[in-house]
Amino acid sequence: MSNSAIPSSTIRMEDASVAEFSWDIRSPIERALVVGPYGALGEAGVSLTEIRNFDLVQVMARRGKAAEMTKPAKARFGVAAPEMPKAVSTADATLIWSGPDQFFVLSKGGKHTTEALVQTFASSASLSDQSHARVLISISGPKGRMMLAKLSSIDLHPDAFPAGAAATTSMDHTSVTLWRGNDRPDGQAVFNVLVFATFAESLWHTMLDSAAEYGVEIGHSEDLA
C-alpha cells in the first residue's frame, strides 16, 4: 500500500449513525521536519529532503529460484535486478540490492505496489510491503559527504562509491539502506537513505546535529527524484 495516497473520507448513507473518518497519512518525521534553513547561516552546505510518496517492496527469491526471479524482474523493469550491492534506476523504479537473492523495489507511489508485483513474480519470490516501514531521506550539497562521514563508516569517495553503489549498513547504531543516486543537474552527488520508520525521528535529529555546522536546507517532496 502506497504510503501517501489519502483515501477520501466517506459517510455511509445506509447507516446514519456512522461518523466520518479521515485516514490522513503522516510521515513519521512530519513533526520533526521543519522546512527551511537550519544551522549555520549562509549558503547551505547540506540539503536534506524527505521523499514522502513511495512504494517499497522487499522481493526475496524463494529457495533455489534466484535465477527464475530475474526474468520477471527484467521483463517488468527492463533492467536486471542487482546481484551485488548496487542500485539500478529506471524511469519509475529503483531496484536496490538488500542481501543475497533479494532486493527492494522502490517506486513512485502506486506504480509498483505489492499487489501488482505479486502477479509479476508469481511463485518465484516472496514479497513483503515495506512502504510504511521506512523513511526515505535524500542528502546532497557540497558538504553532504562531510556530514555523512559522521554517520557512516563507508568510504563515500567518488572512486569508492560511484553513482549506483549501495550498502546495507548502519548509521548512529540504526540499520539503513544507503545508495548513491544519479548526480543532481549541478553535478552534486545525491545519497539516499532508507531508515526504519520508528528510528527515523531519532536519526533525523542526529543528521541535523551532524549537518548544522555546514548549514542545512531542509525540505520534503512527494516525488522520488
Partner 1 sequence: MAGAQTNRLDNGGLIDRSAPLNFRFDGKTFQGFQGDTLASALVANGVKLVGRSFKYHRPRGILTAGSEEPNALVELRTGARREANTKATTAELYEGLEAASQNRWPSLRHDVMSVNQLFAPIFVAGFYYKTFMWPAKFWEMIYEPAIRRAAGLGRAAIVADPDHYDKAWAHCDVVIAGSGPAGLAAALAAGRSGARVILCEEDFTLGGRLLSDGGTIDGLPAAEWLTRTLTELASTPDVRIMTRTTLFGVYDGGTYGAIERVNDYLPTPPEHQVRQRLWRIVAQRCVVAAGAIERPIVFAGNDTPGVMMASAMRTYVTRYAATPAKRIALFTNNEDGWRTVETALAAGLQVAAVIDARPDVSPAHRSLASRNGFTVLHGSVSGVDGGKDGVRKIAVSLTGGARAEVEADGLAVSGGWNPAVGLTSYHRGRPKWRDDISAFVPDGAPPGMAAAGAANGDFGLGACLSQGFATGAAAARDAGRNGNAGAAPIADDEAFSLTPLWHVAGKGKAFVDQQHDVTASDIELAQREGFESVEHLKRYTTLGMATDQGKTSNVAGLAIMAAVTGKSIPETGTTIYRPPYVPVAIGAFAGHHRDETFHATRLTPSHHWAAEQGAIFVDTGLWKRAQWYPRAGEKDWLESVTREVKAVRSGVGFCDVSTLGKIDVHGPDAGAFLDRVYINTFSSLAVGKARYGLMLREDGLVYDDGTTSRLAEDHYFLTTTTAKAGLVMQHLEFCRQVLFPELDVQLTSVSDQWAQFSIAGPKTRDLLKEIVDPAEDLSNEGFPFMGAREVALRGGIKARLFRISFSGEMAFEISVPARYGGAMARNLMQAGKPFGVTPYGTEALGVMRVEKGHVAGPELSGTTTAADLGLGKMMSTKKDFIGRVMAGREALVAPDRQVVVGIKPVDKARRLRSGAHIIPKGQTPGPDNDQGYVTSVCFSPTLDQWIGLGLVERGRERIGEIVHAHDPLRGEDYDVELCNPVFYDPDGGRQRG
Query: What string of DSSP letters covers 106-132?
Result: EEETTTS-HHHHHHHHGGGEEEEE-TT
CA distances from 27 to 105, 134, 166, 189, 207 (A): 20, 10, 24, 25, 17
Query: What string of DSSP letters covers 177-221?
Result: EEEE-PPPTTS---EEEEEEHHHHHHHHHHHHHHHGGG-EEEEEE
Q: Is 122 in the site for partner 1 (CB under 8 A)?
A: no
Closer residue to partner 1, CB minimum distance, 132 or 220: 132
Closer residue to partner 1, CB minimum distance, 15 or 186: 15
> Which positions from 126 through 155 interact with partner 1, judged by CB under 8 A?
126-134, 146, 149-150, 152-155
For partner 1, which stretch binds (CB under 8 A), given 67-75, 84-92, 121-129, 178-186? 121-129
Q: Which of 49, 58, 120, 177 binds partner 1 (CB under 8 A)?
A: 58
Coil/strand/helix, residue 104: strand
Q: Tell me the HSE value of 193 on the side-chain side, using a 13 A CA sphere.
A: 26
For partner 1, which stretch binds (CB under 8 A), given 68-76, 84-92, 181-189, 199-207? 199-207
Q: Taking the complex as a whole, how short is the minimal distance between the CB of residue 95 and partner 1, in angstroms?
A: 17
Q: Which of 13, 21, 75, 187 binds partner 1 (CB under 8 A)?
A: 21
Nearest CA to 95 out of 116, 113, 114, 80 is that of 80
Q: Which of 43, 209, 222, 223 binds partner 1 (CB under 8 A)?
A: 209
Q: Taking the complex as a whole, how short is the minimal distance between the CB of residue 110 and partner 1, in angstroms?
A: 14
Q: Is 206 in the site for partner 1 (CB under 8 A)?
A: yes
Q: Tell me the HSE value of 102 on the side-chain side, using a 13 A CA sphere.
A: 13
Amino acid occupying residue 97: W
| Number of chain residues interacting with partner 1 (CB under 8 A) | 62
Q: Please give the grid coordinates belonging to residue 152.
A: 557512516
The residues of the shown chain that bind partner 1, judged by CB under 8 A, are 1, 3, 7-10, 12, 14-15, 18-28, 31, 39-40, 58, 60, 62-64, 126-134, 146, 149-150, 152-155, 157, 160, 172-174, 196-199, 201-203, 205-206, 209-210, 212-213
